[in-house]
Amino acid sequence: MFNLKIAFRYAFSKIRRQRLTSIIISLGIAAGIFAMFVIMSLMNGLQSKQIDSLRAVESFDIMIKNTKLSASDIENLDSSSFVFEFAETPVLINNLSSSESTSARIRAFDPSYFELDRVRENFTYNAVPSQGISLSYTLGYSLRYAGNNSFEITFLRPGKTATIVPYTQSIEVNSFYTSSLSEFNSTTVLCSLETYKAILGNKNTGYGVFCSSSVDKLAAKIKAADPDAEVQTWKEYNNAVYGALVLEKTIMYIFLSFVFLIICVNLRNSTRRLINSHKLEGAMLRALGCNKQSVRSIFILQGMIVCVIGEAFGAILGLLALKNMDSILGFFGKISGSPLFIASMINPVLSSTEIIVILLAVMLLGLIYTYAGCRKIFKSEIMEVIYDVSD
């Protein structure tokens, strides 16, 4: 306790502008912590939103095809999962009125699919009609839809003499939808399972699973229950997009490592200045009978006090910024007029583990640098320090 009081006194002493130096060091550490908190939370939020959209709209958590298992069998493997039958196949869609055509894919769902919260949140309108098909507004625009129902869709289905033959059928557009994923809007035609099966039967049908437990563990359970089943997780289905997200996160960590490096350099230089300014005091304490270990502990505590104050200040500012991110982004949006600063697009996420790791890493570096500086300085004899300071 005695050493702690002396350390605090030295850290904010007015002699040789020590208080100003300590405050500047603390503010430098706080700025680094604040920057790391904000950047990491924003990137985590953007990635979480993109991944949630992928898992809810673009694909299920797990897709199963060619399986002997029923929906109830799969649900029994994981009580927290939701299982839906679906179908998907590539098509060519043609607007007879405008002679515009485009390649797309048709996806068929059971109506109960859209009752799930995580799905409904990603669709602006009720997407699947009981009869006919549903187009996105993006597809409708590209096909120059003008309120007519003269559409033809060309499927590939098994033939009598050939393995696969094209099959064209006139079909009505009875609904429009929009989803949160632009890729989904531009490539996907929706219909009900009943409409799909009336045309193609059970071709390319399967089960989609949403689960709150580990996706990889549940996929392994399904594979164990039916070794012949084709089991594909959302990561495998969206490997290109997921790979891009992983690369983006890797780049973020590389960028943050440079921020962390700046903090390290600041810590190294600041702790060296902090200890050098107290060479004489350390020599005097040793002359009065304090041993090297006791003197060293005082100045290590001094460096840690400054480091902890800077960390606390930076962490508080960072957490306050995360809590009020909507207001901050709204403010920047008004100034810049850029849609990139719409608050609803970003939900900052920073886990307690990430916070603890950042703070402990900075504190550990501060301890290492302070200890190394003290060890180097207090190797000198008392009179050498006094003569060096007097010169």
DSSP string for residues in 26-73: HHHHHHHHHHHHHHHHHHHHHHHHHHHHIIIII--SEEEES-S--HHH
- Residues in CB range of 20: below 8 A, 6 or more apart: none
Residues 130 and 186 in one domain: yes
Q: Does 254 have pLDDT greater than 60?
A: yes
- Residue 364 and residue 316 share a domain: yes
Q: Kindly state the greatest CA–CA separation across the chain.
A: 105
Is 352 in the same domain as 267?
yes
Does residue 358 share a domain with residue 247?
yes
Percent of the chain with pLDDT over 90: 0
Between 298 and 193, the more confident residue is 193
63 pLDDT band, cuts 50/70/90, is confident
In a domain, 298, yes or no: yes
**Confidence at residue 144, expressed as pLDDT on a 0 to 100 scale:** 84
Q: What is the DSSP letter of 262?
A: H
Q: Tell me the sheet residues that pair with 257.
A: none
Is residue 343 a contact partner of residue 324, using CB atoms and an 8 Å limit? no
Which residue, 186, 210, 234, sits at the end of a domain? 210
**273 shares a domain with 164:** no
Q: How far apart are CA 197 and CA 190, in angstroms?
A: 13
What is the model's pLDDT at position 57? 62
Lowest mean pLDDT, pick from 31-35, 179-183, 314-318, 354-358: 179-183
Which phi and psi (to 5°) does residue 288 adopt?
A: -85, 0
Pairing of strands 164-171, 151-158: antiparallel
234 occurs within a structural domain: no
pLDDT at 228 over 80: yes
Pairing of strands 133-136, 173-177: parallel
- Residues 46, 144, single domain; the answer is no
pLDDT (average), residues 356-364:
85
Q: Are 248 and 371 members of one domain? A: yes
Query: Using CA atoms, how far apart are residues 209 and 342, in angstroms rounded to an integer?
Result: 32
State mean pLDDT over 143-156.
78
- What mean pLDDT do residues 7-13 have? 65
Give the model's pLDDT for residue 325. 75
C-alpha to C-alpha distance for 84 and 139, rounded to whole angstroms: 26
Q: Please indicate, yes or no, whether residues 47 and 150 belong to a single structural domain of this protein.
A: no
328 and 376 belong to one structural domain: yes
Residue with the larger pLDDT of the pair 377 and 344: 377
Helix axis angle, 292-323 to 325-336, nearest 10°:
60
* pLDDT bucket at 302, cuts 50 / 70 / 90: confident
Stretch 363-375: mean pLDDT, rounded? 74
**Is 60 in contact with 84 (CB distance < 8 Å)?**
yes
Q: pLDDT tens-digit profile of 66-112?
A: 888 888 888 888 877 888 888 888 888 888 888 888 888 888 887 77
What is the tally of structural domains in the chain? 2
Q: What is the pTM of this model?
A: 0.57
Q: If residue 306 lies in a helix (H) or strand (E), which one and from where to where?
A: helix 292-323
Higher pLDDT, 170 or 387: 170
| Termini Cα distance of the chain | 35
Note whether 264 and 376 are same-domain residues: yes
- pLDDT tens for each residue of 329-346: 766 667 766 555 554 556
Write down the pLDDT at residue 263.
67
Summarize pLDDT for 106-132 with one digit per residue, the tens: 888 877 787 777 777 777 766 677 788
Residue 70 to residue 257: CA distance in whole angstroms: 49
pLDDT at 178 over 70: yes
Could you tell me if 196 and 87 lie in one domain? yes
Mean pLDDT computed over every residue of the chain: 76
Range of the domain at 23: 2-51+242-390
Q: Check whether residue 18 and residue 155 sit in a common domain.
A: no
The answer to whether residue 215 sits within a structural domain is no
Side-chain-side CA neighbours of 176 within 13 Å: the count stands at: 10
Domain end (from 163, 186, 210): 210
Using DSSP, state whether 387 is helix, strand or coil.
Answer: helix
